[in-house]
Amino acid sequence: MMVPQWQPYKFGYHVLDGHGHQHREEKSDGVGNVRGSYGYTDAYGHYRQVEYVADQYGFRAKVLTNEPGTASKNPANVKVLSTRGGEH
């Protein structure tokens, strides 16, 4: 069995069109640690951004949003930070 040879990398994109804005960025340090983010803002101004890390401690994500119906809660091992306050 071959052991993977980690290589550093970095990529990203940003798209702005009539539906809103989308983006993704990710980078690896070459020894198995990855950091990144992705998200969107729709035509109504609702946004969601996910920032994440994957390393020797596992995968961890933080969600930033103002989507209707969300509140700042932390289910599982995910942090959700909402500016909406949970109203529906």
In a domain, 1, yes or no: no
Alpha-carbon torsion angle 82, 11, 77, 70, nearest 10: 20
Q: Give the pLDDT of residue 2.
A: 78
In a domain, 37, yes or no: yes
Domain count of the chain? 1
31-78 pLDDT, tens digit each: 989 999 999 999 899 999 999 999 999 999 999 999 888 888 766 666
> Which residues sit opposite 48 in a β-bridge?
40, 65
In a domain, 4, yes or no: no
DSSP 43-74: TTS-EEEEEEEEETTEEEEEEEE--TT--S--
In a domain, 87, yes or no: no
Q: Give the pLDDT of residue 1.
A: 75
DSSP symbol at 10: E
Q: Give the pLDDT of residue 40.
A: 96
Range of the domain at 39: 9-82
For residue 80, name the pLDDT band (cuts at 50, 70, 90): confident
Question: Are 21 and 45 contacting, i.e. CB atoms less than 8 angstroms apart?
Answer: no
In a domain, 52, yes or no: yes
